[in-house]
Structure 1
């Protein structure tokens, strides 16, 4: 490998709050909000909480609810896309709405489906609208509960206390009990009540200034919102949203103590949360980040790279695709060639990755490495068009690992490539000057080693081999009937096995089961 820049990424251990700011940045992209939404909602939430005399751990919970309220919402994104089309567009359209006002919500759904299918003939567009209306009930039945369950599992992995975890499960709850789950009044965690209200205040203030906020408080007090908090908003007046911070350093300074730092296993675990948050967006992506990380680390060892570089590659690989959440799931699920417009939007995900990770000052060098995974040595990659002179040995290994992992996974428009074909494609990329020869050969070598028969580890939670197989297929997005067909079983038998899996692993939704499968390495590459 020729001499190239090393771009060292060693830095002080990041603060926990820094990494949560990165996750919040991913969430606001996935929800279609502006780049300062999480920053401002955190500031407004803290002002409102302090005015309501919240303190201690409750104040800390407000801080993190404002940042992480939507960490479960990337689950089932492809299912949402099959109903509503552009998921991010739908979230933008419904964010200002009272979700209990069915007529307004249905109208927004229809508009979103029309916009997604703009340019298509009338009959396919009408069929898409009919399909969306017929299946819209899934949102309350299983999609919203799945979001809550995934959020709670991720929250536990991040080490939050049980009051905070309970709040993550109340994302769609309302003061009047007409939300999901159907709890009401003081059963809603104080941090949830504050963050919900603060974020809606910001959305309506952007749209119509303080008069819009006043109208919102009068309309939804005692319905969606805690009436005492709504009254406090009116008492505070425009000062509540005045002089909001313009940078993340100000918000990090607001974090109630303790100010924890992450390193070693704790940092690895937190970065794995970001990886799973990203990959759960689509069954085509489940487990991709972890597979890239395994290949990159093994290749680095094979090449004799320093241990620090191997660890850096592990972290970068886990989060290299977190920017995918800023591209709506219907684009990733498209079964044919993308339009130029959609291709341009798709390629932005690498830029989003860099922007998300750069919110943590200690991760900015890692952000450049992770965000450059689609660059190529001849300058033909994206987003920066960087050539060989700007790509370090680690960057070259990461690029090769991503290519090999992706080729071995199915995509909506193709099945996975067989190993022999993967070797041919990668070698051609090397000959064309796009991938580094040494890095590519190291990745291919360790990928071949990984395919050798190995002793299977014990299955978690007392799962039988068949139940683990069923869980793996469920995580790939298959219905019970499709799993039965895949495994040569009866749908009723699979249904019983799915319920047994749920009981053993302690989940109640497909999204929760999918995350468990990801956490425990039970998801085979999409095929």
Structure 2
């Protein structure tokens, strides 16, 4: 993103809604469609422009607080995302809801474990569920405030689990005690899910069935009368939401953009207890490493912002996977490897963040092609990509994980330099990150792509056009050894011929004079 270019605030918040969708197990436009549906319904109800704006943003981020209690959801229900997906199809009251809870407690656990959870929950079902809901409500309001939504939205969000008949949680608010924006958003949320799954007729019937219980009867009456027009199949959700947003022209740049992207990073870091503050730490370390390498300010801005949002895709992977203490299955590992791709999907339609998106998606790529999600290698990875990858790897090392304790700073530095020596991380990027983290420079000069000293010598001679025989003669080694070196070098730097090797050597400052003997 060129320095000073602005980004649409509405588009960034729309992207955030896509992340929320992933955590709900819903398609990546559910919240957008709900927000648009709710805004149109608000117009039919005669709500003011300000009230419709509150409905729009309430619908867009209605479930933003859910991911803050993913850890607790996973402990009770096994798969937090599957549980949230299924809960959209059940009215949270009465015997059907109790059967739903019984069927989902400890999903995937042994029978004794599930029995233990059932007994524990139903000793104080309302208290235990209330604790989850309270966590959601508090975090939703705080996150909404942090991302800059107005007071009206912040006041409406804590009522997401309240019901018209007063049987909801956590405060048992009833009737018009629930803000009108939430009463409209609740109808739009459920109507959108059922419309997508079963069609307009079924969605209308479901909303009518909940009238007077979960939903405001007046809102239901207006919705059912206009359902044929409100439930639309043929519109682009992103464009529709952008057209209905109360402030579509508001743009962000500089510190304001940073604040919003930083808040999005905070949002995703709440998903797991051990990632709290991770995105901020990565962004700060990557930014300072960029300064150590002398990057232009535009590149440093991109690097910092990519650090804030690099892990957005984590929302789309269940805590059952993230918090597993043992070895992951191939299917679980595949889900983990998907999360940078999901980050890219979330940010794909935000104008002005293309460069930020590209760097964020590449934070798990490695020089030798062993990274994910795209298996990029060598010159496919920019300096920004390499710095973010090294910064993220260092920060992760210093944080605990379910399968290991946190590394101390010395061990984290050793691990990072080991990754560079193996050709996975860029040596210069590693040294810049370690300098930014306060470590002393390595005694030996850092070489890109984890090249050894001998490999760097061979690479330079290859770039200068020498044959394997000539290189062997100059370095006093066998021609077979030279061939082995060349194969390893090409694999490490991601090239297949001398021209590629020459370009690589030039770009990485390896074109100085080389020794001519042992």
Same fold (TM over 0.5): yes
Could you tell me how far apart the structure 2 residues matched to 1:76 and 1:114 are? 16
Q: Which residue of 2 aligns with 1:13?
A: 6
- Per-residue deviation, 1:38: 1.8
Match for residue 34 of structure 1 among 9, 23, 27: 27
Residue of structure 2 equivalent to 1:289: 279
Q: In the alignment, is residue 112 of structure 1 matched against residue 104 of structure 2?
A: yes
TM-fit CA distance, 1:288: 0.7
| Aligned residue runs from structure 1 range 314-463, under 5 A | 314-448=304-438
Residues 287/87 of structure 1: CA separation in 2 closer, same or farther (3 Å cut): same
**Aligned residue number for residue 501 of structure 2:** none
Please show how residues 80-119 of structure 1 align to structure 2 within 5 Å.
80-101=73-94, 103-113=95-105, 115-117=107-109
Q: CA offsets, 1:456-499, max 9 Å, x none?
A: xxxxxxxxxxxxxxxxxxxxxxxxxxxxxxxxxxxxxxxxxxxx
SS at match of 1:284: helix
Q: Distance in 1 between matches of 2:66 and 2:89?
A: 17
Deviation string 1:133-181 (CA, Å, 9 cap, x unpaired) is 5575455332211211111112222333322211011111111221123
How big is the shift at 1:17?
0.3
Deviation at 1:29, TM superposition (A): 0.5
Contact 2:279–2:310 (CA under 8 A) maintained in structure 1: yes
Distance 1:255 1:30 in 2: 23
- Alignment partners' CA distance in 2, 1:367 and 1:136: 43
Alignment of 1:66-81 (within 5 A): 66-81=59-74
By relative contact order (CA 8 Å, sep 6+), the higher-ranking structure is 1
Displacement of 1:195 in angstroms is 1.1
The alpha carbon displacement at 1:123 in A equals 3.8
Aligned-pair CA distance for 1:224 = 0.9
**TM-score normalized with structure 1 length:** 0.79
For 1:53 and 1:442, how far apart are their aligned partners in 2? 58
In structure 2, the gaps of 5 or more residues are 441-518
Aligned to 2:475: none
- The verdict on how the C-alpha distance between 1:404 and 1:108 changes in structure 2, with shifts beyond 3 A counting, is same
Cα distance between partner residues in 1 of 2:385 and 2:188? 41
Measured against aligned partners, the alpha-carbon deviations of 1:92-127 in whole angstroms (never above 9, x if no partner) come to: 1111211122x323332333346433xxx5444544
User: Distance in 1 between the 2:277 and 2:129 partners?
Assistant: 27
CA distance in 2: counterparts of 1:138 and 1:300, whole angstroms: 49
DSSP 3-state at the match of 1:193: helix
What displacement does 1:43 show?
Answer: 2.1
Q: CA RMSD in A?
A: 2.0
Separation in structure 1 between the aligned mates of residue 175 and residue 234 of structure 2, nearest angstrom: 30
Q: Post-superposition, which runs of at least 4 consecutive aligned residues in structure 1 deviate over 4 A?
A: 8-11, 124-139
| Range with greater deviation from structure 2 (248-257 or 434-443) | 248-257
Q: Distance in 1 between matches of 2:106 and 2:400?
A: 29
How big is the shift at 1:46? Answer: 1.9
Q: Please, which moves more after superposition, 419-428 or 161-170?
A: 419-428
Partner of 2:161: 172
Give 1:253 shift. Answer: 1.9
Distance 1:146 1:57, change over 3 A: same
Deviations 1:65-96 (A, max 9, x none): 11111111111211121111100011111112
Number of aligned pairs?
439
Distance (whole Å) between structure 2 residues aligned to residue 126 and residue 226 of structure 1: 37
Report the CA distance shift for 1:133/1:151 in structure 2 as closer, same or farther (over 3 A): same
Bigger-Rg structure (1/2)? 2
Cα distance in 1, alignment partners of residues 118 and 162 from structure 2: 27
Whether the 8 Å contact between 2:80 and 2:320 is mirrored in structure 1 is yes
Partner Cα separation in structure 1 for residue 232 and residue 310 of structure 2:
36
SS in 2 for 1:167: helix
Change (3 A) 1:379 1:150: same
| 1:519 counterpart residue number | none
Deviations 1:330-353 (A, max 9, x none): 211111111111111111111111
Distance (whole Å) between structure 2 residues aligned to residue 44 and residue 208 of structure 1? 17
**What is the TM-score with the length of structure 2 in the denominator?**
0.81
Range 425-434 or range 137-146, more displaced: 137-146
**CA contact 1:22–1:357 (8 Å) conserved in 2:** yes
Q: Which residue of 2 is the match for residue 227 of structure 1?
A: 217
1:288, 1:405 within 8 Å by CA — same for their partners in 2? yes
